[in-house]
Amino acid sequence: MSDNSQKKVIVGMSGGVDSSVSAWLLLQQGYQVEGLFMKNWEEDDGEEYCTAAEDLADAQAVCDKLGIRLHKINFAAEYWDNVFEHFLEEYKAGRTPNPDILCNKEIKFKAFLEFAAEDLGADLIATGHYVRRQDVGGKSRLLRGLDANKDQSYFLYTLSHQQVAQSLFPVGELEKPEVRRIAEQLDLVTARKKDSTGICFIGERKFRDFLGRYLPAQPGVIENTEGQVLGEHQGLMYHTLGQRKGLGIGGLKDSNDDPWYVVDKDVATNRLIVAQGAEHPRLMSVGLVAQQLDWVDRQPVTAPFRCTVKTRYRQTDIPCEVIPLSDQRIEVRFDEPVAAVTPGQSAVFYLDDICLGGGVIEQRLPLPDADK
């Protein structure tokens, strides 16, 4: 075992169980460990403020129990400029962005990494993400987490091999129940704290209410694929492809009781297109075009290759062929049609357990006869 006692690791402490156990595991491995609590959002209502204050208190309590120092940093300005404004622009354009991916790219593995190295003298950073690192031939690879149910590599595909090399992911080698068991044995306050859901800065709040603060409502019509008006929507930004709930068009006369799904968003005319059936042809794609590519090894793709892809988190891997169009654009052809491929979301590529990287979905390639 290499001598870790000379290496200083700064752990991103969120006030959750995964980062808490990560800090303890690193202490067990002999590292010099300190924590850093990042504030990425200026709360403007009481409920948000309480959650943020509680997270900080929990992070502090864990650090006190483990006997490590907790630093605090405010990245709210960086977050607003580099994550949130982009998020709003994407929604305005009718796309569905993934801010957690951008947050990892711009904040956790950029602003935090730089601050830890330059201001705190860190050799490495660590987070509570469920991914693994593998060093091969002088280059670091990003691997899926051991717990397939919790794997978070989808959210970390933008990382370069250099960023991976500067990072440790202690819980990526464990299954989630084991992480909770360790926290309970250590009697950490975060042991039974439920996992945070929702977008990193919105937390548990109602998404529609939050978005409505920043973007004006733009009502428009809901139509079926034949152009028949079925109702009204309050804004395309509130809807995503494949969505079933919240359309408010149930029980129409002259239609069966099958649920309605969003199959298209026509941004130019502000129309929401719906159809019945989870696998309606209009909802299916044979492939996609992706841009803003980030490959972990930072080598552009020059020839077609086969791998698997996820077009959203927790999706089963889809066998596919990747065809380069340029250094920053690729076409992806699925072996079988896929439902609800959503522009603005990310397509992330894998070879077995290795996360190769990914890109932002620019357009989906519909079934040839979907409109007929």
Each residue's pLDDT tens digit, 75-102: 999 999 999 999 999 988 888 889 899 9
Give the model's pLDDT for residue 264: 92
- The residues annotated with a catalytic role in the active site are 103, 200
CATH assignment of the domain containing 316: 2.40.30.10
Which residue ranges are tagged as binding site for ATP? 12-19, 38, 128
Per-residue pLDDT at 200: 65
CATH of the domain at 23: 3.40.50.620
Q: What is the mean pLDDT of residues 281-286?
A: 95
Detail the residues annotated as belonging to a binding site. Answer: 12-19, 38, 128
Share of the chain above pLDDT 70, in %: 93
Closest CA to 157 of 195, 87, 102, 85: 102
Mean pLDDT of the chain: 92
Q: What is the mean pLDDT of residues 8-36?
A: 98
pLDDT > 70? residue 253: no
Query: Is residue 198 pLDDT above 80, yes or no?
Result: no
Closest residue by Cα to residue 215 from 207, 226, 224, 223: 207
Q: Are 57 and 13 in contact (CB under 8 A)?
A: no
Angle between helices 46-66 and 17-28 (to 10 degrees): 20
158 shares its domain with 233: no
Q: Are residues 27 and 47 in the same domain?
A: yes
pLDDT digits (tens, 9 = 90+) for 143-192: 999 999 999 999 999 999 999 999 999 999 999 999 999 999 999 999 98
Q: At what angle do helices 17-28 and 176-185 cross, to 10 degrees?
A: 70
**42 and 85 in contact (C-beta within 8 Å)?**
no
Structural domain that includes position 249? 216-276
Whether 3 contacts 118, CB under 8 Å: no
**Beta-strand (E) ranges in the chain?**
8-12, 32-39, 70-74, 124-126, 131-136, 139-144, 167-168, 220-224, 229-233, 260-266, 271-276, 284-295, 305-310, 318-326, 329-339, 346-351, 354-366
Give the pLDDT band of residue 40 (cuts 50, 70, 90).
confident
Q: HSE-up of 35 (CA within 13 Å, CB side)?
A: 30
pLDDT at 52: 83
Q: What is the pLDDT of residue 202?
A: 63
Helix (H, G, I), strand (E, B) or coil at 54: helix
pLDDT above 60: residue 107: yes
Same domain as 136, residue 34: yes
Q: How far is CA 228 from CA 62, 222, 231, 262, 269, in A?
A: 58, 8, 9, 14, 15
pLDDT (0 to 100) of residue 245: 82
Identify whether 176 is part of a domain: yes
Q: Is there a domain that residue 80 lies in?
A: yes
Query: In which residue are the tokens 């120092």 written?
Result: 69
